């Protein structure tokens, strides 16, 4: 094909990019290893055997099963499991972000995700706390970017309290606004967003360039929503596809926005039953 003008070349490339196929979420459907927390307590390698048996290849870590990071990585690799993301608590990040970075680099992950906000016993994620949190996140994110890592945050529901402005804004909006996109990204836990009374589809669309991954976790039909406690009984969590969350709409939107990683996080009372059931539903889901 011959192009006579630079504009013609630009138009061709642009149209090709627009027409590029959207990556299927199932290509990066993985497991948050916290799902096997009780099994890990009994045997970390046994839990990894279980993860392998589910046919997933991508995982997100929540600690290293009591092993040095090098040993844990070797155990993952021997089972064909690739650590893409790692959870690291706020306290650990505050105490020694350099240590978190070293472990993340040893594991070879792309993302380091803080899974819970810095709040006291009252669980009040206030506007003031959000601003201090944003400052910490920007600093940690900048340090991680220098080391080839991406830092992110996983809202847990506490962050969606209305602000004093009273215009529909939430404290989460402040956190997004005051964190720098080049340093801080976000992981959506669909369960906790829904539990807080938010619409996951609208929230994905509101910040299309900030979300990088999803925690896929369903909510029992009839569970009440609109709370900002960040807590609920385990029985409110059910196998994906059996609850009240509209997964086709959420996953279709996430795909369209280019979100790449989807981790099942099972917090049900029966993960060994529910993880396979969730995977079966998701692998068979047509969008």
Within a domain: 265: yes
pLDDT at 15 over 50: no
Confidence band of 126 (pLDDT split at 50, 70, 90): very high
Within a domain: 122: yes
Q: What range defines the domain where residue 231 resides?
A: 23-283
pLDDT score of 114: 98
Confidence band of 6 (pLDDT split at 50, 70, 90): very low
End-to-end CA distance of the chain: 35
Mean predicted confidence (pLDDT) in 8-28: 59
| Token pair for 196 | 């807080």
**Spatial contact of 101 and 107, defined as CB atoms under 8 Å apart:** no
What are the tens digits of pLDDT across the range 148-176?
999 999 999 999 999 988 788 999 999 99
Cα–Cα dist 42/169, whole Å = 44
Confidence band of 40 (pLDDT split at 50, 70, 90): very high
Within a domain: 4: no
Confidence band of 238 (pLDDT split at 50, 70, 90): very high
pLDDT score of 21: 59
For a pLDDT cut of 70, what percent of the chain falls above it? 92
Nearest to 229 by CA among 91, 117, 94, 136: 117
Match 């996080």 to its residue by tokens. 265
* Vertex 210 angle, CA 130 and 83, to 5°: 100
pLDDT score of 120: 84
Determine if residue 268 is left, alpha or beta; phi over 0 gives left, psi from -120 to 50 gives alpha, anything else beta.
beta
Within a domain: 207: yes
pLDDT at 16 over 80: no
**Spatial contact of 202 and 229, defined as CB atoms under 8 Å apart:** no
Within a domain: 8: no
Supply the mean pLDDT for the chain: 93
pLDDT score of 149: 98
pLDDT score of 122: 86
pTM exceeding 0.75 = yes
Within a domain: 12: no
Q: Domain count of the chain?
A: 1
Mean predicted confidence (pLDDT) in 178-185: 98
Which CATH number characterizes residue 133's domain? Answer: 3.20.20.150
What are the backbone angles phi and psi of residue 257, rounded to the nearest 5°? -80, -5
**Spatial contact of 152 and 120, defined as CB atoms under 8 Å apart:** no
Within a domain: 10: no
Within a domain: 199: yes
Mean predicted confidence (pLDDT) in 117-130: 91
Any idea which of 4-8, 99-103, 119-123 has the lowest mean pLDDT? Answer: 4-8
- Residue 273, H or E segment: helix 271-283
pLDDT score of 107: 98
Mean predicted confidence (pLDDT) in 249-271: 97
């Amino acid at each position: 094909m011959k192009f006579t003008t630079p504009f013609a070349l630009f138009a061709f490339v642009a149209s090709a990019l627009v027409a590029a196929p959207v990556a299927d979420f199932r290509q990066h459907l993985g497991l948050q290893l916290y799902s096997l927390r009780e099994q890990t307590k009994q045997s970390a390698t046994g839990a990894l055997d279980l993860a392998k048996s589910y046919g997933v290849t991508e995982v997100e870590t929540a600690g290293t099963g009591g092993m040095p990071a090098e040993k844990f990585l070797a155990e993952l690799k021997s089972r064909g499991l690739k650590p893409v993301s790692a959870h690291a608590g706020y306290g650990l990040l505050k105490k020694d972000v350099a240590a978190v970075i070293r472990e993340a680099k040893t594991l070879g992950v792309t993302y380091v995700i803080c899974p819970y906000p810095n709040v006291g016993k009252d669980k009040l994620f206030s506007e003031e706390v959000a601003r201090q949190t944003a400052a910490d996140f920007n600093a940690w994110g900048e340090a991680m970017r220098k080391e080839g890592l991406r830092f992110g945050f996983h809202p847990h529901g506490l962050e969606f309290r209305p602000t004093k402005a009273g215009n529909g804004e939430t404290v989460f909006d402040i956190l997004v606004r005051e964190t720098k996109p080049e340093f801080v990204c976000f992981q959506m836990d669909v369960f906790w967003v829904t539990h807080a009374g938010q619409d996951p589809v609208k929230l994905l669309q509101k910040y299309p360039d900030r979300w990088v991954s999803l925690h896929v976790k369903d909510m029992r039909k009839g569970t009440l929503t609109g709370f900002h406690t960040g807590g609920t009984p385990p029985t409110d969590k059910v196998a994906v596809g059996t609850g009240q969350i509209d997964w086709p709409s959420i996953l279709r939107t996430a795909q369209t926005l280019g979100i790449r990683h989807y981790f099942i996080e099972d917090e049900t009372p029966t993960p060994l039953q529910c993880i396979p059931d969730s995977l079966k539903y998701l692998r068979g889901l047509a969008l």
